[in-house]
Amino acid sequence: MENLDALKSELSGMIKSAADGDALEQIRVSALGKKGQITALMKGLGQMDPKERKAAGQQLNVLKQEIADQIDARKDELENAGLDTRLAKEKIDVTLPVRPEQMGTIHPISQTTDELISIFGEMGFVVAEGPSIEEDWYNFTALNIPVDHPARQEHDTFYINAEKEGQRMVLRTHTSPVQIRTMQSQKPPIRIIVPGRTYRCDHDATHSPMFHQIEGLVIDEATHMGHLKGCLIEMCRAFFGMDELPVRFRPSYFPFTEPSAEVDIGCAFGDGTLKIGEGDDWLEILGSGMVNPNVLENCGIDSTKYQGFAFGMGIERMAMLKYGIPDLRTFYDSDMRWLKHYGFQPLDVPSLVGRAGL
C-alpha cells in the first residue's frame, strides 16, 4: 500500500495550507467523511484476503488518526491566530483618564482633634463636651476669675443679649467651663478631655474670633505635678511623632491652676522656617497646672482630699505646627483648594495602635 504515504503527504500538505476553518472542514470531509478518500479505502478492506486485511487495516487506522490529529492541531492553530487578531484589533488607550470620581477630605481641625483624642484615649481620658453659649459663672467665676479682675481683660469676651443670674451670657472663651460642668456632675476620679469651639473678640493675622481648644482635666486623690509632666511629655512626643522631642515646663500664671506651668517644645527658628524637635529655641504650645483648690471647692469637690491637673491647647495651633499650615485665618475660609491641600483622606483615621504612628 505504498500509495498511502502519498495520500498522507498530500492530505498533510492540504491541512497545513488550509487558510481557515471552512477549508479545513472541506479537507476533513474529503478525507474522513462518509465519501472521503480514507473512508473509501477503509471500505475496500473487506475485499482483501484476511492476511493482508489485518496489516492494511492497521496502516489505515494509523493514517486516519494522524490526519484527524493534524486537522485538530491546525484547527487550534487557526483559532488561536483568530483570537490574537481580534485582541490586536481590540486594543484601547489605557492612558485615558478614568471616569470622574470624587473623594472628599477631612478638615485639619477634625483630624487633629481625632489624633489628640486617640492619644489621650490611650491614657484613659474620655471626651466631655459642653455648650458654646455659657453662663458667666461657668466661664469665669467658677474658674477663680472674679468679676472685675484684670485677668478678665485678657479674655476678650463676646457677650450676647441673654442674661442668667443678672449676668450677660458669653460665648465661652475657653473650653474650661466643661471642666466645671463635669466636676459638678461627676464624682472623682475624673479624667476628661474637652475639645470644642471657643470664641474671643479678636480678629487679626494670628487671632480668629472663633477657634478650637482641647483641654484636659484629671482629678483624683494622688495625681501630682510629676504626672502632669509625664502626661504632657508623652502627648507631645506621640503627637509630633518624635520620641526625643524636648519638652520644657516653666512657671506661669492662670487663675484656675496653682502651680501653673506653660509647656514649650524644642525647635529651631531660622531661614523663615520652623523645625520642631531641632535647635535651641523653644515654642510655647500648652498651658497647664494643678487645679486651684478654689476651683475644686466651687464645684463642690473637697480640695483637702482631691487634687489633679488641667491643661489646654489650641487645636489649630497644633495643626499648624505639625502640618506646616502658615495662616490661622485660612482654616475657616472654606476655600476648596486649601481644603484639598491641607485636608485628610477620609479613611485616614488616627490611631496609635492601628497604624504606623499618627
Partner 1 sequence: MKFSLNWLKEYLDTDKDLDEILHWLTMVGLEVEGVEDRGKLVKEFVVGHVLEASPHPDADRLQVLQVENGTETLEVVCGAPNARAGMKGIFAGNGSYIPGLDVTLKTTKIRGVTSNGMMLSEKEIGLSEEHEGIIEVADDAEIGSPAAVALGMTDPVIDIAITPNRGDCNGIYGIARDLAAADVGTLKPLDVPKVKGSFASPVSVNIDFNDDHKDACPMFVGRYIKGVKNGESPQWLKDKLLAIGLRPISALVDITNYMTIAYCRPLHVFDADKIKGNINIRMAKEGEKMLALDGKEYEMDGEMTVIADDQDAEALAGVMGGERTGVSEDTVNVMLEAAYFDPIRTAMTGRKLNLQSDARFRFERGVDPAFLVDGTEIATQLILDLCGGEASEIITAGAEPDWRREYFLRDNRVEELGGVEVSPERTQGILEILGFEVIKVDGGWKTIAPSWRYDVVGEADLVEEVLRINGFDAIPIVPMERETALPHGAINLAQDRRSLVRRNLATRGMTEAVTFSFLPKDQAELFGGSPESIELVNPISTDLSIMRPSILPNLIAAMGRNADRGLSDTALFEIGPQFAGENPGDEAIVAAGLRAGKAIPRNWTGGVRDVDVFDVKADALAALEQIGGPAANAQIAQGAPAWYHPGRSGTLQLGPKSPLAHFGEIHPAILKAMDVEGPLVGFEIYLDNAPLPKSKNQGKARPALNLAQFQAVERDFAFIVEAKVTAEDLIRAASTADKKLITEVTVFDIFTGGALDDNQMSVGITVRLQPTEATLTDAEIDAVADKVIANVAKQTGGILRG
Q: Is 210 in the site for partner 1 (CB under 8 A)?
A: yes
**Closer residue to partner 1 in complex, CB, 46/100:** 100
Q: Which of 112, 114, 141, 219 binds partner 1 (CB under 8 A)?
A: 114
**Closer residue to partner 1 in complex, CB, 68/151:** 151
Stretch that binds partner 1, among 14-22, 28-36, 39-47, 226-234 (CB under 8 A): 226-234
Q: Is 253 in the site for partner 1 (CB under 8 A)?
A: yes
Site string for partner 1, 17-56 (x = CB under 8 A): ----------------------------------------
Q: Which of 66, 129, 302, 327 binds partner 1 (CB under 8 A)?
A: 129
Identify residues 74-103 at the interface with partner 1 (CB under 8 A).
96-97, 99-103
d(CA 289, CA 251): 9
Which residues are within 8 A (CB) of 168 and not within 5 positions of it... i.e. 6 or more apart? Answer: 136, 159, 160, 161, 162
Which burial class, exposed, middle or buried, applies to 311 when counting CB atoms under 10 A from its CB (0-12, 13-18, 19+)? buried
In the DSSP assignment, the letter for residue 293 is H
Q: Which of 13, 21, 82, 230 binds partner 1 (CB under 8 A)?
A: 230
**Closer residue to partner 1 in complex, CB, 60/311:** 311
Using CB under 8 A as the binding criterion, the count of chain residues that bind partner 1 stands at: 92
Q: Is 327 in the site for partner 1 (CB under 8 A)?
A: no
With both helix axes pointing from N to C terminus, report the angle between 108-122 and 225-240 in degrees, rounded to the nearest 10.
Answer: 130
d(CA 347, CA 339): 16
Distance of closest approach, residue 233 Cβ to partner 1, in angstroms: 6
**Closer residue to partner 1 in complex, CB, 29/336:** 336
Q: CA 303: distance to chain centroid?
A: 43
Strands 190-199, 126-127: parallel, antiparallel or unpaired by DSSP?
parallel
Give the DSSP H or E segment for 273: strand 273-276
Identify residues 176-195 at the interface with partner 1 (CB under 8 A).
189, 193
Q: Is there a contact between 262 and 287 (Cβ–Cβ < 8 Å)? A: yes
